[in-house]
Structure 1
């Protein structure tokens, strides 16, 4: 139920010390040299501290997804800020929430690949990441200003903060091929997602403590929810600091083609990548597969609390406790499936995770009392950690070495397309069928089934060979 990220505080000695990652040189590849050693820069291999610094960004930004997108603010928006719309049009508040999320993702869908290509050309992923983080933190804090009935202001700030958050997700993911060897991409991606779930737990725990105190003092949701947004912004700002102190940019700038502006170069590189899609058929097939199952994941992330609140009557404290428990199972899923992915391969592992998703959604559909939702929620957590970490690692292994940020921009493109189609389909079905959340959830189940069927057509080894040849 949470799109946050996860990671353990300690790792076995030597486990996180990996090979140096690529720059963008043009030297011919020596026999036996891997594609991630081909474009080497002078920086030493990424060590434990640097990998932890990378993973800590997941820890930092997870509070945003858990508090704003998944738990407290989504339910607050539907139940307080936009609740007046439901009096005249059942399901309108949920639809407005999904429209705001859809608008944010549409912006990132259009701009994400270009920003990624620009980051590749200029080797400034870290600088772009800093800007995206600052905007998201500011937007989150400003959400505290939107009170009951101020729907337009709330939607605008959600769009601003969610857009910046998504750009940050794309950019931090683009560092993965630079700091992790192909053999360890799965587990290191899992460490990142896993540590993030613990970051979500920290943020939710502090918010729960505040809500318990405030509600005990007789405050209403309109009085205590704004403070949770300030808590979230502060934790994000403080815990992202290690990333910007210790994570290093290993890419090297590429010269701008004559007569090109940076923007023109970015669009041209993306267009070039799309024209060469035939050279990387398994990468692009998996991107389509990811779009399908991520449509389901994105829907669960932004409507989970709404579903629990509207169908089963959960209050703020119950929602937070549920999501905190789900964070633990998600952390276990990310860490456990990351190791399984490196051992058994991405396709079998992701297939198993998608089967768990199907079981979790079916359990939520047939649930008749709140206790049943706890079973579904924990299955969702286990599956979410696995699919989020596994998908990112597989993209890393299918990506040509010198186009990391660009391809991860397309990864973000796929995620953003999914985050438009999934939640909006839920919101529209729920609205058109008179606030029918179960029917809307049935549509979400279809995304996971379709994604699983397409995943079975992806050939991981062939895709990795194509990435080496193209890079």
Structure 2
């Protein structure tokens, strides 16, 4: 049996790398529309009334739908045992439905992402996997346009599918980073990708907010404006994914099983080896834990910022929306700024300094007065400066401490540590609110995440971690 010829070497010249890098940036531009338009702003507030409409039709059919939805909480309180929707045989309150779908989506990602990463490394067909996951997610997002009336289950299923595809595509996307950049280029490439993502997500969100705020003058109902906005996020995702698919290239991998079933089986075996071999890289594991801790603080602060604005500061929806937009565009420059600082002061020092800034931000939250819009905008501005840079430089550092040929597997661990730890910060906020009924104290409780994450990262000897993974140590860390 003839031995297959080795694959031709890829052009790895600086010009070829820059071409791939420019294409790679555009996937952040493409998929950020899903996170900003769907998750951050529109889907939750839209899906809950849809679930209430279904509950009204089931339990309060004599009351007009619009009136029932408006007075739903009062009606449900006055009729114990009524006002629920059915989710696979369980009675769920409409207000909890979006949170339930988000929880299911996260749990599915925790199960699926390691397999996706192993499959990407095992087959080497990263470009095809990136495109497949991206277009499944984009199509599911576009189909959210069909969610109206009482179709809450359709909305939940589409969101879970889109979110799972989104997370899977990001694992594959991140795994390209060490393949398309040298150790010296890594910080800048990661920071530019993150920055462009904020710009793309912010631009579409701005257009959708104009549509939403002006829907009456355009002859559209509020629900139709939201549905068009959600569909546009999927369309944006689909169109701009074409660019990275044209630019990115697969790298050769050792010959594996030829069948799809064999590839999946091999991927599971490879994943098992990765988890077992992680003990050989204790410093990589220490960095992963440090990232898990401080990134949980970052995600919890961002996730609770709207509630903090409304509950603690008594600010209206307009202020919250304009702050979200400001964060998107300022974070573009913030990510580039921290990338530039990393070149001069070192990546690790820059991330540590950003964690000090995060600590100061949550302390300052205690002293922001009610109804003080300017103070809230200043706090949001400070968050935007460090938000993208903290995450982009952390991604760059992680890419340095993982072994070659296993990039997608290890980035899947980074993603599930992100998803799987999210409940810890949320639980901390919940406990603080339960004990104190104060959103200020709840936000300040995030200090522990930034302090512990700072200490763990400071303890991580990155030079030794990079050498242990068999990688070239960059000139400045």
Fold shared per TM-score above 0.5 = yes
Cα deviation, residue 438, structure 1: 4.1
Distance 1:361 1:206, change over 3 A: same
Partners of 1:119 and 1:318 in 2: CA distance: 43
User: Within 2, Cα distance between the matches of 1:145 and 1:304?
Assistant: 30
The equivalent of 1:42 in structure 2 is 10
Secondary structure at the residue paired with 1:406?
A: helix
Q: Is the 8 A contact 2:50 2:152 kept in 1?
A: no
Of 344-353 and 216-225, the range deviating more from structure 2 = 216-225
Instruction: Give 2:56's aligned residue.
Output: none
Q: Does 1:139 align with 2:109?
A: no
What are the within-5 Å matches in structure 2 for residues 148-167 of structure 1? 151-167=152-168
| 1:121-200 alignment, distance < 5 Å | 121-147=122-148, 151-200=152-201
451, 466, 469: which one aligns with 2:468 = 466
1:6-405 matches, within 5 Å, as 41-45=9-13, 46-77=16-47, 96-147=97-148, 151-216=152-217, 221-256=222-257, 261-309=262-310, 311-312=312-313, 317-367=318-368, 368-369=370-371, 370-405=373-408
- 1:361 to partner: Cα distance: 2.6
- The alignment's TM-score, normalised by the length of structure 2, stands at 0.80
C-alpha distance in 1 between matches for 2:112 and 2:440 = 34
Q: Who is 1:23 aligned against?
A: none
Kindly indicate whether the alpha-carbon contact (under 8 Å) linking 1:101 and 1:420 is maintained by their aligned counterparts in 2.
no
Tell me the TM-score normalised to structure 1 length: 0.81
Structure 1 residue 165, shift from structure 2 partner: 1.0
CA-to-aligned-CA distance 1:265-315 (integer Å, 9 cap, x gap):
222222212222232111111111111122223334444344435555655
2:338 and 2:386 in contact (8 A); partners too: no
How many residue pairs end up in the alignment?
Answer: 430
- Contact kept in structure 2, 1:363 and 1:372, CA below 8 Å: no
Change in CA separation of 1:263 and 1:143 when aligned onto 2, cut-off 3 Å? same
Q: Distance in 2 between matches of 1:96 and 1:72?
A: 15
SS in 2 for 1:295: helix
Q: Distance in 1 between matches of 2:73 and 2:151?
A: 15
Indicate the structure whose relative CO is greater, using CA pairs within 8 Å and at least 6 residues apart.
Answer: 1
Give the superposition deviation at 1:55.
Answer: 0.4
Q: Which deviates further from its counterpart, 353-362 or 234-243?
A: 353-362
Task: Encode CA deviations 1:222-264: one digit per residue, 9 max, x unaligned.
Answer: 3421121012112111122101111111243542499x93233
- Matched residue SS, 1:468: coil
Does the CA contact (< 8 Å) of 1:360 and 1:380 recur in 2? yes
Alpha-carbon deviation of 1:49?
2.6
- Name whichever of 438-447 and 128-137 sits farther off: 438-447
Q: Unaligned stretches of 5+ in structure 2?
A: 1-5, 53-68, 78-92, 473-477
Contact 2:144 2:158 (C-alpha < 8 Å) held by counterparts: yes
Structure 1 residues 330-379: Cα deviation after superposition (integer angstroms, max 9, x where no partner): 11221111232244333211111112222223333443223322122112
Range that drifts further, 340-349 or 326-335 = 340-349
- Give 1:186 shift: 0.6
